[in-house]
Amino acid sequence: MFELIGETEQLRLFRDAYRDATGQRLRVVRKSERPDFICKRPDGTLVGVEFTLVTRDPESSSWDSILNGVEYMDGSDASMEIQAAVSRKAAKRAGPDWQLPDSSILVLSTPDCPISDLAYYLNGVRGEFEGSGFTEIWLADHSETEAYGAVELFCLWPDEWWGWYRRQRGKPFG
């Protein structure tokens, strides 16, 4: 199961996968609060990168595991949690203390539900995130980070990058 990793490690994993998906390398400028990091795009423009975790609460996760043998969040539930998380973060992005509100990437870390379980449900939300205010919204699948040392991405916005970007490197141990 997923072991919580820090934001700096999340950023490293995201930047590697983002470069593979988009061909763009994000260079870290500084750690921040809102958003979590300020980065520079290849063209020199600044972009904020904000991370948020999408997972079951620890109590229901423990009970699901113990009573039902369920290790991951259901794809349907995860899809609803993703929509709620985007809404919450969009409200925070609109606040006065958010740096770069017109140039921010939201990264939703999903350690509790693999993209493979979510992909079907995500087709139903295509186009729903345009009004969020984020320039990009990505899911970063951390469900197999330990085994592969990498994350898979799914772009929710913008529409031009919509879709699943599977892992490019790394092999499972064993």
pLDDT digits (tens, 9 = 90+) for 70-90: 566 778 888 889 999 999 999
Q: What is the mean pLDDT of residues 150-156?
A: 92
pLDDT digits (tens, 9 = 90+) for 22-75: 999 999 999 999 999 999 999 999 999 999 998 866 555 544 555 555 566 778
pTM, two decimal places: 0.85
Report the pLDDT value the prediction gives residue 71, as an integer from 0 to 100: 62
Q: How far apart are the first and last CA of the chain?
A: 16
Backbone angles phi, psi at 101, to 5 degrees: -65, -20
Strands (E), 64-151: 104-109, 136-141
Report the pLDDT value the prediction gives residue 41, as an integer from 0 to 100: 97
